Chain A
Amino acid sequence: MKLNGNKPAAEREGAVLFSSYTRGYGIRKALEIGRENVLLELRESKLKGRGGAGFPTATKWMLVAASKSEEKFIVCNADEGEPGTFKDRVLLLEYPELVFDGIVVAGFTLGAKQGIIYLRGEYEYMLKALEDYLEQMRLDNLLGDNILGNPDFSFDITIRLGSGAYVCGEETALIESLEGNRGEARNRPPYPVNTGYMGRPTVVNNVETLASVPHIVVKGGEWFKKFGTDKSTGSKLFSVSGDCERPGVYELLWGTKIKDLLEIVGAKNTKAVQVGGASGICVPKSQFDRSLAYEDAATGGSIMIFNESRNMLKVLRNFMEFFVEESCGQCTPCRIGNVKLLEGIEKLEKGTYTFSQLNKLKELGKTMQVASKCGLGQSSPNAFLSILENFKEEIFNKNGYGGRNGK
């Protein structure tokens, strides 16, 4: 069943995630082979978290599986807020069977009774369709009591909505938000696998990670590993936007070169590619040979393309404004740092900067990367540092002071 199966097929071909799958198969297979074997297949597959951090999924699951706690939770992080990312939208609307079967398999394997989807507030319009889908799963005994007749497996899924805070995509902030608090990142340790939602062991997985699970269970870890590279197994969904003919969601194998991706999506006169959204890195033309993989240009999937006509300083300003707004304000390096970086960009635009000021800002960026409490502040200087480094010519020379080239 597709909730919104009207997308051009050309964009939805792929070897792994978008290969054929029948609803419920993953759950059936998991019940058949048992918990231990699910974990073994998962380990064999070398699946890593698709949110961007790339933590081995099997390791996370094993930590929770090993815990003796009465209560455990599976949380599906559907709070994708990285500018330029929309793969969850496609997965949830067009491939709900993958996402939900993945959550149920996780529930079975880890001994949890409840799964929670934390859906970003911006996706509220999907709620009804997703609730209906869950209801159908209950009718088909894929959710609820004694799933598929299994006397000791009962599990259900609830959907919770976010309310417009980018930082809630960070897993501990997400848990705070679920518990009814401000979405502020927690100090770690303890990690959610030990003390997560309601103080219970909790696995927090990205939508795409969970969507990979049913395929791995059905076809095996060995099969999954055949795709991609040694360190980055399987495939990856890329959300492509910006200057190209065919924006959209693509499934490509890990290890695909940036220049090949550009070819596929019909990008012309590209001067830069932002890999990983606002918090990612900006790759200049000279490096389009780089591959998209954990071991090279790692990414949660956002690819933004800029052609020759774009002013990179303007791009950078948009990113920094985003971070100034979205910083939760809890820790100083991020709260103050982002504002300072934005001020620096304004100086560059006006041409009132000095190089020693800029060097101080670069230092500040590096300090933020190590001293911020959560991923937001740790990665927000990435764009600043990489754009300043890679587009020196444009920013300092060609456009005169501050890159005002009339665009």
Chain B
Amino acid sequence: MLVLEKNSLTEEVESLVDQYGTERSALLPILQAVQRKHKYISDFVQQEIARLLDIHPVEVYSVVSFYSFLHSEPQGRNIVRLCQTIACDMSGKEAVARAVERELGITFGQTTRDKRITLEYANCLGMCDQGPAMIVNDKVYTHLTPEKAINILNEIK
């Protein structure tokens, strides 16, 4: 990483700490803000957060690794989560999943080569009456069909 890049990340973390405070309870909101912007939380950022909140970096890592929406490895620019739980499964999630995999040329858990999309499964999105459901970043799509899902994915940059 370039020094300049490091400096700007440090500044970013500092401003988040200014915003959320240095209490331990600020940890999750800070991590979520980083995740939202960069789609993952790098080792360097984890160390900086640990330093500023005065906790051990391992503590930060243990929190990052616990929550399924937080990632310590680079992800695609867009995170797509398809619900795999029962109601969506019954309403046709399997066909959607296979179509999406074919179209993107990756399987769930992977990222496209151009880093455009990371594909993941999610557990129940609270849209069970309108399944199959999927979240793209934080936008929800329901009543998916294979075709509809592909159209949505083709729209995103």
Contact = CB atoms under 8 A, between A and B. Distances in A.
A239 B129 contact: yes
Interface stretch (A30-38, A133-141, A158-166, A253-261): A158-166
Contacts, number: 119
A183 B86 contact: no
A122 B127 CA distance: 10
A405 to B, nearest CB: 16
Interface in A294-347: 304, 306, 310, 315, 318-319, 321-322, 325-326, 328
B66 A182 contact: yes
Interface stretch (A39-47, A105-113, A216-224, A240-248): A240-248
Contacts of B87: 83-84, 241-242, 304
Contact of A86 (B67, B69, B89, B126): B126
Interface string B38-82: 000000000000000000000000110011111000000000000
Nearest to A274: B86
Given A180-B28, A182-B62, A242-B87, A322 B128 contact: no
A322 B25 contact: no
A117 interface: no
A375 interface: no
A163 B123 contact: no
B69 to A, nearest CB: 4
Contact of B28 (A163, A243, A310, A318): A163
A81 interface: yes
A198 interface: yes
A179 interface: yes
B29 interface: yes
A36 B131 CA distance: 45
Interface string A72-89: 000000001111111011
Interface residues of A, number: 51
A314 B35 CA distance: 35
Contacts of A165: 66-68
B112 interface: no
Given A83-B85, A166-B123, A182-B66, A239 B128 contact: yes
B101 to A, nearest CB: 18
A349 B131 CA distance: 26
Contacts of B86: 83-84, 242, 274, 278, 304, 315, 318-319, 322
Interface residues of B, number: 36
B84 to A, nearest CB: 8
A198 to B, nearest CB: 7
B24 interface: yes
B139 interface: yes
Contacts of B16: none
Contacts of B85: 83-84, 278, 318, 322
B150 interface: no
Contact of A125 (B24, B26, B140): B140
B128 A164 contact: no
Contacts of A121: 67, 69
A356 interface: no
B67 A81 contact: no
Interface in A189-245: 198, 239-243
Given A241-B87, A319-B86, A123 B69 contact: no
Nearest to B135: A122
A184 B26 CA distance: 17
Interface of A: 80-86, 88-89, 120-125, 160-166, 177-183, 198, 239-243, 247-249, 274, 278, 304, 306, 310, 315, 318-319, 321-322, 325-326, 328
Q: Which 3 A-B pairs give the minimum distances between C-beta atoms?
A: A180-B27, A163-B67, A247-B129
Given A86-B126, A304-B86, 4 more contacts: A86-B129, A123-B126, A166-B123, A274-B86
30 contacts: A82-B124, A83-B86, A83-B87, A83-B128, A84-B86, A85-B126, A86-B127, A89-B126, A122-B122, A125-B139, A125-B140, A163-B70, A166-B123, A180-B23, A180-B25, A180-B26, A180-B63, A181-B24, A183-B66, A239-B128, A239-B129, A249-B129, A304-B128, A318-B84, A318-B86, A322-B85, A322-B86, A322-B124, A325-B123, A328-B66
